[in-house]
Structure 1
Amino acid sequence: MTDVVSVSPTRLATYAACPRQYEHKYVQNVSSPDETKLYLHQGKAYHEMIERVCDATDRDDDPAVIYERAMDVFDETWTKHIDPDDYASDAHQEYQRRETLAGIKSFFDPEDGDGIEHAQHSVATEKRIQCERDGLGLHGYTDNVLRDGDTLHLIDYKRNVKGVLGHWSADRLEEHLNEEAHEAQRVKNAFQTAAYTEGIKDSSLYEPGMSVRFSFYGLLHSTDTQSTATGYTVTASGRARETTDAYEEYYDTIWALINAAHNGITTETFNPEPFDLIQEEACGDCDYKAMCPEYIATEVQQ
């Protein structure tokens, strides 16, 4: 891959969301003033819990043993990643701890938890991948790689899969490419799917003739809180969203989007276009709008 510039799906997605945001974040290295650490640290905690359980599990381990293994690592992993000073109150921290524990309990439930299969079939966690397609370099880490016969199933763990790319919404990728809509989240999902699907084929885990699947898994997709006489209880359940069919059907569109973002990054083209769409869909939640010349100009005109 000499002379090939390798870019992560996250950077590509930031550029696709708004080139100017990419410039502020990655070129000028401007820290986001409103960035919260709570969900980031919570995510690191449950990612490591899943990783440790999967790495310690053999294919024939009993589901009850896997569940107890998850419970054993919870407190240590939570304490490692959570800083109490990040929370407005002890009550807030306790709620998020209970929410995460509920998600882990559901995921590794011995009766029907999806995590049992994930652990038993895991052949690699935090697997670094790198690939090159038509001069476009991609790299990143996939959270878990499952093997079932001649199929490798890659998993990316998220908080939830609301708004995540599905085969029924993949046509919106074409609308984004044609500048008819702004679908930053689904475009990011497409970039991740492409990078990891193709990257695993260039790894030692892949054997000729194998099929590859890719899914996002929302560990805390559905949560609920119920009051009790002594306080409250939190329940949570996960949900998978597979993007394999969307990737196969919209392969050319996805790689055209990758090419556009990759080319914009490597040529340092940071003008946000079409700005009307970006402003409507992305500016409202952008932490950099106070320093964005295009956004400021529109505010002055008003």
Structure 2
Amino acid sequence: MTDTDSSAASLSVDGLRTALHCPRRHEFAHVHGLEGSDDDAVDDRVALLRTAICDALRSGETDRAGLETVARDRLSALWTDHDEPFHSVAQRRHERRVLEATLSAYLERVGVDHAAGLEALDADAARGELIGPELPLSSTVALPDAAGGSDPPAADAVTIDATVDYVYGDGSSIVGVRFVPTLAPLGRLRYRSDWEGDVADLFTDHFDDERDAFDPDPVGSLFETAVVIDGLRTLRDRLELGDRTCRYVQIPLADRSGTAVNWVRDTVETSLEVVDLTDVYVDHHTYGMTHDHRNETVDSRLATVASSLISGPFDPSDRWDQIEEHACPDCEYTVCCQEYIGQEVRFDG
């Protein structure tokens, strides 16, 4: 089933992110299913840690020593079967130590608290529905009516799929946690704690035809936050977890900026930054009206973008200058992209 199959009317957060970079790339990757390169060692290592951590949380252990024992044993088993090519045994040993240091940093920073939060929710919900990895969530978005003279939308609503790795309780909130390689795609969202101001400006400027702004990654992160928080509300209601508010957190597992290596002692230490995207997404006016963590500006634009992806035709010409500058240089589909080829082979005169 493709993202534009109107009988199902479904999209994914990854598809939305791709479309923000270039709608033609979205067509190739998510409509026609053309595969890009899947040789991503960083993502593979994150997947190892994600699985080890989730298995440790699922074990029911809540103290640091117990969690670390389960997680390290699981990581060791996964690493034995990990077939990533390294140039030497020393490099393979070093990369494993980086993963182990990241695991320790996670447990030190938030792991024990999150395990306790999972235990608190466990009385009200089945643990299997709170821990992934890649626990599926979805948000159903009503699509806007067509503008005058436009074709009607291909569907009345679309389901947008996302994932988190686990959900834990934190006071009056439930929190979805997703492990990511790095926080780089967040841009300035990483350093802000409020929607009003330059975050709102960044978002609106990206869609303003009169401006040259092009920020698909942070805009995509706001879309993802909207989908995840709505998906958490659905999960909350299905598991009858009351009227708790929903929050969304990202934790990077492959960010080397905080990693320190002592080559003499052959040790690795690292630290983790945890980012809660809820406050930077929530519009206080909308929150005051609904008492839910929502943002009318983001949510309405999400519906508009989703509608365009359901109906096509994935034409990038409106923003081609920005797309050519920012998206084409690292695009794996330029060899079959008519717009890119047309630019490359055009003749003067």
Within the candidate set 184, 209, 219, 2:253 is matched to 219
Alignment-mate amino acid for residue 262 of structure 1: A
Alignment-mate amino acid for residue 323 of structure 2: I
TM (norm. structure 1) is 0.87
Distance 1:295 1:214 in 2: 37
Structure 1 residue 128 displacement after superposition: 2.1
Alignment-mate amino acid for residue 57 of structure 1: G
Alignment-mate amino acid for residue 203 of structure 2: L
Structure 1 residue 251 displacement after superposition: 1.5
Distance 1:229 1:139, change over 3 A: closer
Distance 1:301 1:88 in 2: 43
1:55-84 CA distances to partner (integer Å, 9 max, x unpaired)?
Answer: 1125xx32222222222222012234x223
Q: Percent same amino acid among aligned pairs?
A: 22
Distance 1:161 1:265 in 2: 26
Distance 1:300 1:91, change over 3 A: farther
Contiguous gaps of at least 5 residues in structure 2: 1-5, 122-129, 143-156, 284-293
Within the candidate set 5, 12, 21, 2:25 is matched to 21
Report the equivalent of 2:214: 182
Report the equivalent of 1:133: 141
Report the equivalent of 2:104: 105
Structure 1 residue 137 displacement after superposition: 1.8
Report the equivalent of 1:83: 83
Alignment-mate amino acid for residue 205 of structure 2: E
Distance 1:97 1:275, change over 3 A: same
Distance 1:138 1:31, change over 3 A: closer
1:43-65 CA distances to partner (integer Å, 9 max, x unpaired)?
Answer: 2101101110111125xx32222
Higher relative strand content: 1
Report the equivalent of 1:292: 337
Contiguous gaps of at least 5 residues in structure 1: none
Q: What RMSD in Å do the two structures reach over aligned CA positions?
A: 2.4
Structure 1 residue 206 displacement after superposition: 5.3
Structure 1 residue 89 displacement after superposition: 4.5
TM (norm. structure 2) is 0.76
Q: Which runs of 4+ in 1 moved over 6 A?
A: none
Distance 1:46 1:76 in 2: 11
Matching of residues 33-48 of structure 1 within 5 Å: 34-48=37-51
Q: Number of matched residues?
A: 292
Alignment-mate amino acid for residue 246 of structure 1: V
SS at match of 2:271: strand
Alignment-mate amino acid for residue 269 of structure 1: P
Structure 1 residue 225 displacement after superposition: 4.4
Q: Determine which structure has more spread, i.e. the larger CA radius of gyration.
A: 2
Distance 1:156 1:206, change over 3 A: farther
Distance 1:130 1:192 in 2: 11
Report the equivalent of 2:152: none
Alignment-mate amino acid for residue 224 of structure 1: T
Matching of residues 1-302 of structure 1 within 5 Å: 5-32=9-36, 34-58=37-61, 61-80=62-81, 82-84=82-84, 86-109=85-108, 113-122=109-118, 123=121, 124-126=130-132, 127-134=135-142, 135-164=157-186, 165-166=189-190, 167=192, 170-171=199-200, 172-179=202-209, 180=211, 181-203=213-235, 204-205=238-239, 207-221=241-255, 222-229=257-264, 232-249=266-283, 251-272=295-316, 273-301=318-346
Distance 1:26 1:175, change over 3 A: same
Structure 1 residue 160 displacement after superposition: 2.1
Distance 1:293 1:150 in 2: 52
